[in-house]
Amino acid sequence: MAPSPSIPKAAFWMALSIASFLAMSVAGRATTTELNVFQVLELRSVIGFFILLPLVMMSGGFAAMRTKRPLAHIARNVIHYSGQAAWLYALTLIPLAELISVEFTTPIWTAILAVSFLGERLSRPKLAAIVLGLIGVVIIVRPGAGSVNPGHLFVLGAAVCFGISIVLIKSLTRTDSVVRIIFWMLIIQSAIGLVPALYEWRNPPLDLWPWIVLIAFSGMSSHFCMARALAYADATIISPMDFLRVPLSALIGWLLYHEQIDAFTAGGAMLILMGNLLNLQRRAPQAEAEAAVS
């Protein structure tokens, strides 16, 4: 049985998801400096599986992980794995704040796909939140007339994959538990990435293992929390909340990598915040009506 819609609960789980994604960004940069992208993804999936096991046991064990929608799980994870590989590779090419900013074309694809395939309504507040967020991202990135960095193209491709993945997760939450969704994510992506990971495998140095464990934990928790958030609210509500990763990543870039935060970044962050506040200010009668329909 799907949980009743709840904006506060969706916002809580989305905040945890954002924190996990930011941790994964830092850990991803640390690990990809010494290991190839496919090995990092494989280690993330395998270690993440063992981290998830206690939740699997608490949810009824392996028997409870059976699904009636294996093709949907496979499709979602092939697409997501492709996007994750492109995202990690781009992380080695462009600054963190820039990568996260360009990634935020994702809500465009999410909103379009959610309206087209999930029957969600693209209301004026949702549309305004997306538009304000994207304007804020453009202000932060300030695309110039210079040559295009390949990292931008990889992130753009990743953004399309992530948009499709979010819509598929939302669809899966209607029939499968969050633990089951993450369980199959780790199983399928471990299988997908095994051969490319072994092709250029090298034993990680001892000082890299804390980062590997962090990327495995945050990689699992980010999607667990995202799926929980999507169980409480529409994808077109959840995606604009994720815009907060842009100013937060800029802050991390300044603190850890000495990337400067200028007036453009601050102005873009303000627009992103305004969009999120607008999207979250939904009247109680409207929320109750949606809950009754559900």
- Dist. CA 42–CA 172, nearest whole Å: 23
What interhelical angle do 124-141 and 96-103 show, nearest 10? 150
Q: Is the pLDDT of residue 284 over 60?
A: no
What interhelical angle do 70-91 and 96-103 show, nearest 10? 140
Residues 10-31 have pLDDT tens digits of 889 999 999 998 999 999 989 9
Q: Is the pLDDT of residue 83 over 80?
A: yes
Q: Is the pLDDT of residue 121 over 90?
A: no
Show the tokens assigned to 16.
């945890």
- Dist. CA 234–CA 129, nearest whole Å: 14
Question: What does the pLDDT read at residue 263?
Answer: 75
Question: What does the pLDDT read at residue 148?
Answer: 61
Q: Band the pLDDT of 140: cuts 50, 70, 90.
A: low
- Dist. CA 294–CA 288, nearest whole Å: 10
- Dist. CA 223–CA 16, nearest whole Å: 10
Nearest to 21, CA basis, from 111, 75, 84: 84
Phi-psi region of 66 (alpha: psi -120 to 50; beta: other; left: phi over 0): beta
**For residue 169, how far is the Cα from the chain centroid?**
11
- Dist. CA 122–CA 110, nearest whole Å: 11
The amino acid present at 183, given as its one-letter code, is: F
Residues 27-63 have pLDDT tens digits of 998 999 899 999 999 999 999 899 999 999 999 999 9
Show the tokens assigned to 199.
């092709």
Question: What does the pLDDT read at residue 292?
Answer: 30
**For residue 79, how far is the Cα from the chain centroid?**
13
Identify which of 22-31, 95-104, 260-269 has the greatest average pLDDT.
Answer: 22-31
- C-alpha pair distances (Å), 131 with each of 142, 243, 247, 271: 16, 11, 16, 9
What interhelical angle do 37-58 and 7-32 show, nearest 10? 140
Q: Band the pLDDT of 146: cuts 50, 70, 90.
A: low
- List the end-to-end C-alpha distance of the chain, in Å, as a whole number: 11
For tokens 């699904």, name the residue.
67
Between 229 and 269, the more confident residue is 229
Between 8 and 136, the more confident residue is 8
Q: Is the pLDDT of residue 8 over 50?
A: yes
Nearest to 172, CA basis, from 74, 75, 238, 73: 73
Q: Band the pLDDT of 204: cuts 50, 70, 90.
A: very high
Show the tokens assigned to 101.
């900013």
Average pLDDT score, the chain: 81
Q: Is the pLDDT of residue 182 over 70?
A: yes
- Dist. CA 194–CA 196, nearest whole Å: 6
Show the tokens assigned to 239.
């995606």
For tokens 């999120």, name the residue.
276
Between 191 and 164, the more confident residue is 191
Question: What does the pLDDT read at residue 131?
Answer: 82
Q: Rounded mean pLDDT of 175-191?
A: 91
* pTM for the model: 0.75
Q: Is the pLDDT of residue 288 over 50?
A: no
- Dist. CA 64–CA 61, nearest whole Å: 6
